[in-house]
Each structure stands twice: as C-alpha cells, then as structure tokens.
Amino acid sequence: MTVSQSLITWLETNPNVDVDTSVNTDLLAAQALAMALYKTPQANVIPFVNGDRDITGYYHFLIRERANQESARQGNQAWLEALEAWVYARQRARDLPDMGAGRTCSRVFIANTFYLASAENDEAVYQLTLGIEYTEKAA
C-alpha cells in the first residue's frame, strides 16, 4: 500500500466525507463534489545506521465544491474546519493510518490550513496540506 493510499483510506473514515465520493490520487475531477490527494515534492528523511528511515511527507488535499452562493461558501469553510478538527482529534486519539507492512505512522497533522485555491464557474477549489510522519523499516 502506498503512503498516499493509506492516507486516503484513513480520510475516508471521516463521517463527513461523502461515501459516494472517493478521494482520488493525483487527479481532481472537473465536477463538484470532487476530492483528491496530491503528493508534494517535499519530504524530510532521517536515515539510521540499520537502514530504517523516519520520514515526514506532505500531501495536498483538494476539494471542489459549489460556491455560487454565500451560504455555500460558508458551508464549504465549515466543512473544511471540521475536517481539520477531525485530523487533530484522530491524532490525539492515536487513531492513525494503517500503512501496511514495514511502515508505522506516528503522526498526521495539518501542515498548512485550508484556503481557496481557485474559483470559477460557480465552483471553488479549496486546498489544505497534510503532513504524515512515519518510520519505514529497512528491507
């Protein structure tokens, strides 16, 4: 399982994520409601003598929503605030992504809070950045 897929599976356990809308990998669909997770080119890696590595990776979570009315935009912000609160609550409860064999997640956090990335045709794309810290065992 990829790190991205473990994060997606974890995010989809959030009760506010629409069960009929999957979180795509590296592709945000053109229609509202769409969600995607993109890996960023940034990672912090600490190698150990035994070959293990502590890694901090960063992933952009994007969501396309309707934004043609003020109430819709306020609702979008409320949803994203709830998502951020859910991430913090899962961290405090130590309910972290299952990364499969060879990797152990120690932390998921909001690296950059949500913001409006783009808006057009009565739709808006919001983005936030998730950070994930994990240990990868040597092969």
- State how far Cα 83 lies from the chain centre: 9
pTM reported for the whole predicted model: 0.92
**Cβ of 1: how many Cβ atoms within 10 Å?**
14
Residue 16 DSSP one-character state: T
State yes or no: pLDDT of 19 exceeds 90.
no
Give per-residue pLDDT as tens, 42-101: 999 999 999 999 999 999 999 999 998 999 999 999 999 999 999 999 999 999 999 999
Name the token pair of 28. Answer: 């945000």
Three-class DSSP category at 23: strand
pLDDT at res. 112: 97
Q: Does domain 3-136 have CATH number 3.30.2000.30?
A: yes
Please answer whether residues 43 and 61 qualify as being in contact, where contact means their C-beta atoms are separated by less than 8 angstroms: no
Instruction: Determine the Cα–Cα distance for residues 58 and 79; give it in Å rounded to an integer.
Output: 21
Q: How many angstroms separate the Cα of 36 from the Cα of each of 21, 48, 61, 125, 133?
A: 10, 33, 6, 11, 20
List, for residues 108-127, the tens digit of each pLDDT value. Answer: 999 999 999 999 889 999 99
Give the pLDDT of residue 31: 85
Q: How many helices and strands (H and E) does the chain possess?
A: 2, 5
Distance between CA atoms of 106 and 126, rounded to whole angstroms?
27
